[in-house]
Amino acid sequence: MELNSIKPASGAKHSKRRVGRGIGSGLGKTAGRGHKGQKSRAGGYHKVGFEGGQMPLQRRLPKRGFKSQLLKYNAEVTLAQLQNLAVDEIDVLTLKQAGLVADIVKNVKVIKSGELTKKVVLKGVAATAGALVVIEAAGGSIAA
């Protein structure tokens, strides 16, 4: 094989449709643009969503909702996940190393989901009221 013998696969390339080149081509006269009107003329078109001056649908509907960009810095950890951790003293760095929270996370809160039987000490990690009861019942605590 030589570089000058390389060709595209058969059927991969096809010649461009030449419009406006006589009636025999099937696309003569109006060149497939129909008769008159804005869309038949060169440079004549409108923006996406334009409805001829009528108030477009995307502006007629009310704006709704908001998603805070600060949410990506917060994370939740369940009691069941704490039960599976090998360490007793838990802080944000420990949770990141265990892969329970993303590296970008700054604030972590423990939620009451699952069982916790071992004693854990939380440092710099918040907990919901229900989770706090379960942690203290297991002999654990939350250090500020």
Question: How high does pLDDT run on average in the chain?
Answer: 93
Strand, coil or helix: 89: strand
With 80 as the cut, is the pLDDT of residue 144 above it?
Answer: no
Query: Which of 38, 101, 30 minimizes the C-alpha distance to 125?
Result: 101
| Cβ neighbours of 75 (radius 10 Å) | 19
Closest CA to 52 of 70, 38, 41: 38
CA 29 to chain centre: 48
- 70-143 CATH: 3.100.10.10
User: What residue spans define the domains of the chain?
Assistant: 70-143
Supply the pLDDT for residue 93: 95
Q: Is the pLDDT of residue 40 over 90?
A: yes
